[in-house]
Amino acid sequence: MGHQKKLRVVELFAGVGGFRLGLEKANKDLFDISWANQWEPSRKSQDAFECYTRNFKDGIHSNEDISKVSDNVFQKLVPDLVVGGFPCQDYSVARSLSGEKGIQGIKGVLFWEIERILKNSHPKYVLLENVDRLLKSPSKQRGRDFAVMLATFHKLNYNLEWRVINAADYGHAQRRRRVFIFAYKRDILFDREQRNFDKKEIVFKEGFFAKAFPVKEDPYLGRISDIEELPTDRVDISDNYSFGFHTSGIMRDGKFLTAHTDPVYMEPTPLRDILLDEEEIDEKYYLTEDTEKKFEYLRGAKKVERTTADGHKYFFSEGGMSPTDSLDLPGRTMLTSEGSKNRSTHIVEVNGRKRFLTPIECERLNGFNDNWTAGMTDRMRYFCMGNALVVDLIATMGKRIEEIEKLSETEIVQLGLF
C-alpha cells in the first residue's frame, strides 16, 4: 500500500496543546496540525498560547478571538479533522426576528463557532471534549444542551458517537471524567462500514469508542434507551426538550441510542508512580504548620450555619475526606484551583512530610512531558493543567482514527480507484 496521506487538522480552543500532543503521540506522520487557535479573552498575558508556540513549531498559530476569524480562513484550510475542548455554556436558541438568519444562539457561546467552522470547512471527522455535565445541562431542563448539539450535527450531515471516559478506568493516573464526541460525515467509508451494525452493536462493540475503550456486554443496571427520532427544530428543542442521556451513545440519521456503559477496567496508574524523587522537590511545596491546619479544616467534615441575603438560615455540610491523597490510587480530578488552599487540591505525604504536587507532577497527571508549561508562574501552570485533558486518551483516539483511515485506503485500493 502506498504512503498514507496526511490528515489536515484544525485545533480549536487549543490551550497548551493536549489534543495536538496526543495526536502526534499516535502518529506524527499522519496528523498535520495545520492551524490552531488559542485565545484567552480576559487576560493580558496569553500564557497558554505562548506555551503552545514554544512546544510546537510548525503550522499556523492563531491568537485571536475565534469569532473574529473569517469564514474565508476555514474555507481555505479544508481540514479533514477538527478537534477541540470547548467550554460548557448556555445553548438556548431563538428564532431571529427577521426569520432570515434562522436561529440565534446566545452571543459568545463557542459551540456556535464550531458550527460555523464546520459549515465552512466540512471536515470528515470532528473530535470534541467537554465536561460530563454537558449531558445533563441545564439543571432545569436536563439534556437540552446536548440535544441542541446533536440536532446541529444532524443538520450539518454528521452522525456521531459520544462516551464519558474516566481516564483512570483505562490505566491512567487521574480519575478525570470527560465526555468525548466523535462525529463523522454521512456517506464516508467509515459511515458506510458502520451501517453494517445496529446502534447497540456500535455502542458496545464495533464503534469508534468501543474498539478503543472496551466496555462490558450489558448496560450498567440495564440503563439503555433507543429513541426513534430526535426533534430537528432546534428552537423547539431549546424551548421544550429534555432527556436523560446516558454516558454513551450514537446518533445516526437523527435517531439515537444511549446507554450507561460499564468499562472493562484496566489497572490505573497510582499517584506514587508519577511523583518526583523527594530530593528534587523545592522546599516551597511543603506545607507549613499553619497550612497543614488549614487543610485539616478544609478536608474535614463540617456543618456550618449560613445565612442567605434575605435572612434565611441554613446549614452547609460536607463529608470528610482523608487528610492526604493515597499514593496507591490514581489522583483525583485536577481542577484549575490545584495548588491553592482549596479542598480539591492534592496533598501527598512522603517520608512523613506533607506537600502539594509540583507543577511537573501535575503535568504528569495529564500525561504531558515534564516542564511542558515551564516559563509561566506556578499558579498559571496549575491552572493550565486543571484545564487540560489526559493526553494519552487522545493518543488512543488518534490511533483509532488511523485505523479508520487505513481501512478507507484499503477499500479504495480494492475498489481499483487508484
Tell me the catalytic residues: 88
Instruction: Give the contacts of 248 (CB within 8 A, at least 6 positions apart).
Output: 161, 162, 163, 164, 203, 209, 215, 258, 259, 260, 261
Judge if the upstream peptide bond of residue 79 is cis by omega within 30 degrees of 0.
Answer: no
For the CA atoms of the chain, what is the radius of gyration?
23
Amino acid at 133: R
Instruction: Give the contacts of 13 (CB within 8 A, at least 6 positions apart).
Output: 37, 38, 66, 84, 85, 86, 87, 110
What's the rounded Cα separation, in Å, for the pair 287 and 316?
Answer: 27
- Taken in order 400, 16, 274, 168, the sign of the CA dihedral is negative
Coil, strand or helix at 144: helix
What's the rounded Cα separation, in Å, for the pair 220 and 271?
Answer: 28
Q: What is the helix (H) or strand (E) element at residue 158, kind and residue range? A: strand 158-166
What's the rounded Cα separation, in Å, for the pair 287 and 281?
Answer: 12
What's the rounded Cα separation, in Å, for the pair 203 and 252?
Answer: 12
Report the interhelical angle of 391-414 vs 18-27 (nearest 10°): 50
Cβ atoms of 338 and 386 within 8 Å: the answer is yes
What's the rounded Cα separation, in Å, for the pair 366 and 178?
Answer: 13
What's the rounded Cα separation, in Å, for the pair 1 and 252?
Answer: 31
DSSP 95-142: E-TTSTT-EEEPTT-HHHHHHHHHHHH--SEEEEEEEGGGGG-STTST
Cβ atoms of 93 and 105 within 8 Å: the answer is yes
